[in-house]
Amino acid sequence: MSAAGRDAAREPVLDAAREPVKVAVVYHSATGHVADIAREIAETAEKAGAEVRLRRVREPVPEDAADPRRGRAAPDAATAGAPVARVDDVVWADAVLMGSPTRFGNVSAQLKQFIDTLGQAWRRGELADKVYSGFTSTGSTHGGNESTLLALMQSFHHFGGIVVAPGFTHPDKFVDGNPYGTAHHDAGGTVPVGDVTRNAARVQAERVVALARAIAALPGKDR
């Protein structure tokens, strides 16, 4: 085949690759740290050419279960202005990044409740073949950040998703030290999200968008 013929044969794939990748960033934030990471991921994905939906989950817990460090106002302030996540946001997306504070080494009840609403979409096969990735924040350096990210991955596997972890694929990930996703530790609520976490979030978002775009561009991929 001539060079011109090879180029012509590749055109449909290249055209598909130019279509905007659809990314949903769904999170629960109790003190604002997970919300900060979510916004960093969303902004980076948009800069990488993705169409992004930034969504918070509902806050159904009673007042006495609110984060004891910040009080009841913290969740509302942390998520102000973000639309509430719906099942359709996940179904719509080519890639989904979910974020949660750690709760005893696991995801928060609020995010888990949202995940549980995805059952019918899962049954219809609408969660499969998407890219998934996770992020978190903990009160201490070893406060369950890795186990929380791994817990999220369990759900992603059940969805039939394609789990994309950042791994140690960039120098900034060797600084942050977590190959499973982005994880911040706030030292009991005293340390805001800084450059190390933001850089890690950018690496993760760029990797998710790049791989979601590659998957969407595969011949025969129905978007």
Task: Give pLDDT, residue 65.
Answer: 54
| Choices 1.10.10.10, 2.60.40.10, 3.40.50.11540, 3.40.50.360: CATH for 20-216 | 3.40.50.360
29-88 confidence digits (pLDDT tens):
988 999 999 999 999 999 999 999 999 999 875 545 555 555 444 555 556 578 999 999
- The average pLDDT across 7-27 equals 64
In DSSP notation, 111-176 reads: HHHHHHTTHHHHHTT-STT-EEEEEEEESSTTSSHHHHHHHHHHHHHHHT-EE---TT-SHHHHHH
Task: Give pLDDT, residue 14.
Answer: 37
pTM of the model: 0.85
Task: Give pLDDT, residue 143.
Answer: 84
The answer, yes or no, to whether residue 5 has pLDDT greater than 60, is: no
Task: Give pLDDT, residue 2.
Answer: 44
The answer, yes or no, to whether residue 95 has pLDDT greater than 90, is: yes
Task: Give pLDDT, residue 223.
Answer: 63
- The average pLDDT across 179-186 equals 93
Q: pLDDT over 70 for what percent of the chain?
A: 81
What φ, ψ does residue 95 adopt, rounded to 5°? Answer: -140, 140
Task: Give pLDDT, residue 142.
Answer: 81
136-177 confidence digits (pLDDT tens):
999 888 888 999 999 999 999 999 999 999 999 999 999 999
Task: Give pLDDT, residue 78.
Answer: 56
Rounded distance, CA 16 to CA 151, Å?
33
pLDDT band at 206 (very low <50, low <70, confident <90, very high): very high
For the chain, the domains span 20-216
8-state DSSP, 220: T
Nearest one of 153, 124, 130 to 216, comparing CA atoms: 130
* Cβ atoms of residues 192 and 186 within 8 Å: yes
Task: Give pLDDT, residue 93.
Answer: 98
Q: pLDDT over 90 for what percent of the chain?
A: 68
Rounded distance, CA 116 to CA 128, Å?
16
Rounded distance, CA 92 to CA 106, Å?
26
